[in-house]
């Protein structure tokens, strides 16, 4: 190769240390967060509609990812379940959400038995998708039934954002010791410490400034959300590693797929809901009428 050709060779692009396009990630996050916050605080119908669309996209992503490994799942029952579960949670509470999951399972069983190759594996994979995506995340809607439920849900979303933000910053600047290198090499103990510290501060401040309640409630809620969100991140990383995928899709610029954003919510929402019920002594599952 001549010296001229060597000089004209384009410089090698450097991958961001955090593994994502930060400006695109911030823009996409804001585009999702703003309507979510508006829906939580002012327009619950907008929140439910947004939730249904996001859950249907999440179901589509996971079903599509499973098909790369030869697992054909019936999508129509999953779409019906993704729409029905948040609506059931909103109008009927815990009992209606559980019933929606059971009916989704029945539709999956019928659809798989009627025309899906290898129906046994198809049914198991479909039930996994129905539980992992719409069922667990629909506990966010159940929080609206609690006293000051709109603000409770807003705080939990804020804690998840704090977990991601403080963990990202601490991981970028201080991350040296991976938590689980075989599952998610970029997650470090330093990042986890940053997530925990930042989220606990946010939780304590919200308990003091918004709810006028004992500060330990905010601290415990924040700590539980961080642990649950981290478990959710690892769960999706394990699924992607098993399916040999980098991202579920490229639907969200800077973030990958929808499930790459929902993964923190999968265990965080039910954890936050049950912990709030236990700590505040409220009666769960009262329909909004």
pLDDT band at 1 (very low <50, low <70, confident <90, very high): very low
Instruction: Quick: pLDDT tens for 28-53.
Output: 555 566 666 666 766 788 888 888 99
d(CA 84, CA 79): 8
Domains in the chain, number:
1
What is the phi/psi pair of residue 29, to 5°?
-60, -40
Burial class for 114, CB neighbours closer than 10 Å (0-12, 13-18, 19+):
exposed
Contact 289, 145 (CB under 8 A): no
Q: What percent of the chain has pLDDT over 70?
A: 79
- When comparing pLDDT for 113 and 34, which is higher? 113
Contact 98, 53 (CB under 8 A): no
Q: Decide if 83 is inside a domain.
A: yes
Handedness of CA 102, 135, 233, 281 (dihedral sign): negative
Contact 286, 93 (CB under 8 A): yes
Q: Give the chain's length.
A: 289
pLDDT band at 12 (very low <50, low <70, confident <90, very high): very low
Does 251 have pLDDT greater than 90? no
Q: Decide if 285 is inside a domain.
A: no
| Mean of all residue pLDDT scores within the chain | 83
Contact 219, 211 (CB under 8 A): no
d(CA 243, CA 245): 6
Burial 273-284 (b: 16+ CB within 10 A, else e): bebbbebeeeee
SS3 212: coil
pLDDT band at 4 (very low <50, low <70, confident <90, very high): very low
Q: What percent of the chain has pLDDT over 90?
A: 48
pLDDT band at 166 (very low <50, low <70, confident <90, very high): very high
Q: Decide if 8 is inside a domain.
A: no
Instruction: Quick: pLDDT tens for 272-286.
Output: 999 999 988 766 655
Does 24 have pLDDT greater than 60? no
Q: Decide if 15 is inside a domain.
A: no
- When comparing pLDDT for 118 and 216, which is higher? 216
Give pLDDT, residue 245. Answer: 79
Does 228 have pLDDT greater than 90? yes
Instruction: Quick: pLDDT tens for 76-91.
Output: 999 999 999 999 999 9
- When comparing pLDDT for 258 and 137, which is higher? 137
- When comparing pLDDT for 262 and 17, which is higher? 262
pTM of the model: 0.83
Q: Decide if 286 is inside a domain.
A: no
Range with the poorest average pLDDT among 151-160, 210-219, 237-246: 237-246
Burial class for 13, CB neighbours closer than 10 Å (0-12, 13-18, 19+):
exposed
The range of the structural domain enclosing residue 264 comes to 22-280
Q: Decide if 13 is inside a domain.
A: no
Handedness of CA 178, 180, 181, 187 (dihedral sign): negative
């Amino acid at each position: 190769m001549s010296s001229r050709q060597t000089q004209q060779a384009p410089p090698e692009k450097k991958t961001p240390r955090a593994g994502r396009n930060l400006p695109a990630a911030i823009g996409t996050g804001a585009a999702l967060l703003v309507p979510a916050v508006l829906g939580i605080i002012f327009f619950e119908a907008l929140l439910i509609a947004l939730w249904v669309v996001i859950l249907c996209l999440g179901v589509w992503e996971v079903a599509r990812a499973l098909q790369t490994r030869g697992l054909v799942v019936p999508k129509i029952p999953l779409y019906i379940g993704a729409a029905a579960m948040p609506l059931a949670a909103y109008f009927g509470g815990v009992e209606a959400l559980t019933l929606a999951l059971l009916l989704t399972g029945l539709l999956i069983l019928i659809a798989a038995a009627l025309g899906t190759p290898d129906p046994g594996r198809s049914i198991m994979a479909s039930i996994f998708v129905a539980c992992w995506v719409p069922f667990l995340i629909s506990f966010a809607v159940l929080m609206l039934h609690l006293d000051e439920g709109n603000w409770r849900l807003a705080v939990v979303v804020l804690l998840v954002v704090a977990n991601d933000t403080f963990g990202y910053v601490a991981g970028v600047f201080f991350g040296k010791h991976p938590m689980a290198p075989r599952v998610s090499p970029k997650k470090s103990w330093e990042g986890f410490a940053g997530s925990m510290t930042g989220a606990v501060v946010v939780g304590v401040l919200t308990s003091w400034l918004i709810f006028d309640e004992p500060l330990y409630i905010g601290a415990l809620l924040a700590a539980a959300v961080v642990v649950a969100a981290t478990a959710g991140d690892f769960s999706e990383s394990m699924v992607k590693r098993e399916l040999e995928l980098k991202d579920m899709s490229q639907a969200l610029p800077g973030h990958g797929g929808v499930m790459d954003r929902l993964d923190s919510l999968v265990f965080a929402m039910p954890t936050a809901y049950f912990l709030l019920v236990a700590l505040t002594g409220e009666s769960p599952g009262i329909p909004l009428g």
